Structure 1
Amino acid sequence: MKPSTRRRLFRGTLYAIFVVAVVVVLLVADWGAIHTNFFNADAAKSTLPDVITTAAKNTVVYTAIAFAGGLVLGLVLALMKLSPVAPYRWVSTAYIELFRGLPALLVIFGFAFAVPIAFNWRPPGGSAGAGLIALIIVSAAYIAETIRAGIQAVPKGQVEASRSLGMSPGWTMVSVVLPQAFRIITPPLTNELVIIIKDTSLLFIAGMALPDRELTTFARDGVSQLANATPLVMAALMYLVITLPLTQLVAYMERRQSRGR
């Protein structure tokens, strides 16, 4: 049998398995129960407009704050890790390894409950503020490594040419290296933004007041009140509305960079 024939048979078998699996799911599923428990029109209407005006809005706001704070702190950490001063490198490396190794949920719980008790500290913004501080701290550890990789990806010839023109090391970093580094890391940074959007769902552990609820907390409360899972579906749709354009943007930028290379 020719290799091309074997490949066609293999693909045909995979298609047949997929079709059989879909048919089995369609036949086995209890569509009445699915409609009643996940796509209940009355339950969906009861989530409107709060799922958009409160939950989705808060999710976007929390994401913007966490990403902006993480980007600033991550840039500082990346520069510290590349610093010729050894203590700066040690502190940055320890920070990055610590908060990349800890679950974000544990960090949020610690800043919402353990840290305020241990240091008699009231976080700004209450529970939501404590959770956001934790998200900033965790996201900064990942963003720092992304920025560091971007800086090191800039050709050394760019730095040498800038220095030969009389630029100081600091000005070379600001005006030559960082702009090129951020151009390189834009796709992974956008991907990190998508991850932060989903990580805002972990803020529920901090306990949110009604006006501060993000999508997951809103959906959980809706399920408890209505004894129906439709609020979860509504929250999932809102997450998709927010994240799908960003994931498509990441794919577009990666294709564009590939063509550029």
Structure 2
Amino acid sequence: MSWDWQVFCKSTLGDEASASCFGQGGDITYLDWLLSAWGWTLSVSALALVVALATGILIGILRTLPSAPWRWFGNAWTELFRNIPLLVQIFMWYHVLPQLIPSLQQLPSLVLVVFALGFFTSARVSEQVKAGILALPRGQRMAGLAMGLSLAQTYRHVLLPMALRIVVPPLTSESMNIIKNSAVAFAVSVAELTMFAMQAQEETSRGVEIYLAVTGLYFVSALVVNRVASLIERAVRVPGLVTAGAK
């Protein structure tokens, strides 16, 4: 089997190759397309991670409050979003919710995918935040309240700073999972890496080269996230505390 890596230097409009592998003017090569798709993948992943962390931390807190209705809401949110397949949730956001909420029809598919992926991941983040809070000695909450802090202040100044430092390792895995899960965005026509791979393979019949390149970019993206998160973990690690995944 002969490999033809020059396929990335070819124009998407024909078989002619570009000398620099980057198109000029209106000419676009498969390398241009690949890098653009990588950018869309990173954009979807980064935005979804922001949604997941913001929502997941809030839901995790609600699941540890003394108030039963808030705990019920947090548990219901978690069970709903983690027990429905991600692809089904994306189709719900893309095909069903815009029919029920017409204003959503004005949103681009990228935004809908970000919310679907972010809320799906928030259920997993909430489990980790809840576990981090419950892992702390009960005396810390009681001490905060005894010092005159409100419940909100106790969470903000006493519980969350410790709990979030404990759960950095599992949050690293979720950050990497978001990059991999973003591949389902192709189902609603977001021009990310998986969609590029499918379409470029059909046009060029060079599936080995195309899928190896896409796989490499997924690997590099996840590896960078892992290394950055490891640096953050070392920087915020609680002295004397051994956590799962600590190096």
Q: Aligned runs of 1:1-261 on 2, under 5 Å?
A: 32=1, 35-36=2-3, 40-46=4-10, 47-52=30-35, 54-123=36-105, 125-208=107-190, 213-229=191-207, 230-248=209-227, 253=233, 260-261=241-242
Q: Distance in 1 between matches of 2:137 and 2:106?
A: 42
Report the CA distance shift for 1:84/1:260 in structure 2 as closer, same or farther (over 3 A).
Answer: closer
Higher relative contact order (CA 8 A, sep 6+): 1
Q: Distance in 2 between matches of 1:123 and 1:63?
A: 22
Query: Is 2:179–2:222's contact at 8 Å kept on the other side of the alignment?
Result: yes
Deviation at 1:249, TM superposition (A): 5.4
Query: Is 2:62–2:71's contact at 8 Å kept on the other side of the alignment?
Result: yes
Q: Give TM-score scaled by structure 2 length.
A: 0.80
Structure label with greater radius of gyration: 1
Q: Distance in 1 between matches of 2:212 and 2:47?
A: 26
Indicate the larger mover: 102-111 or 54-63.
54-63
Q: Distance in 2 between matches of 1:233 and 1:123?
A: 36
Report the CA distance shift for 1:102/1:67 in structure 2 as closer, same or farther (over 3 A).
Answer: same
Deviation readout 1:39-93 (Å, 9 max, x if unpaired): x2122334313322x1111111111110111111112211222222222222221
Count of paired positions: 219
Deviation at 1:251, TM superposition (A): 6.6
1:19 corresponds in structure 2 to none
Answer 1 or 2: which has greater helix percent: 1
Query: Is 2:64–2:134's contact at 8 Å kept on the other side of the alignment?
Result: no
Query: Is 1:56–1:214's contact at 8 Å kept on the other side of the alignment?
Result: yes
Gaps of 5+ in 2: 11-29, 243-247
Letter in 2 for 1:87: P
Q: Distance in 2 between matches of 1:259 and 1:199?
A: 35
Query: Is 1:70–1:136's contact at 8 Å kept on the other side of the alignment?
Result: yes
Q: Distance in 2 between matches of 1:198 and 1:124?
A: 27
Deviation readout 1:177-232 (Å, 9 max, x if unpaired): 10101100001111101000111100011123xxxx11111111111211221222
Q: Percent identity?
A: 28
SS at 1:49's partner residue? helix
Deviation readout 1:74-124 (Å, 9 max, x if unpaired): 122112222222222222212211211111011001111122234434345
Query: Is 1:139–1:196's contact at 8 Å kept on the other side of the alignment?
Result: yes
Q: Distance in 1 between matches of 2:38 and 2:126?
A: 28
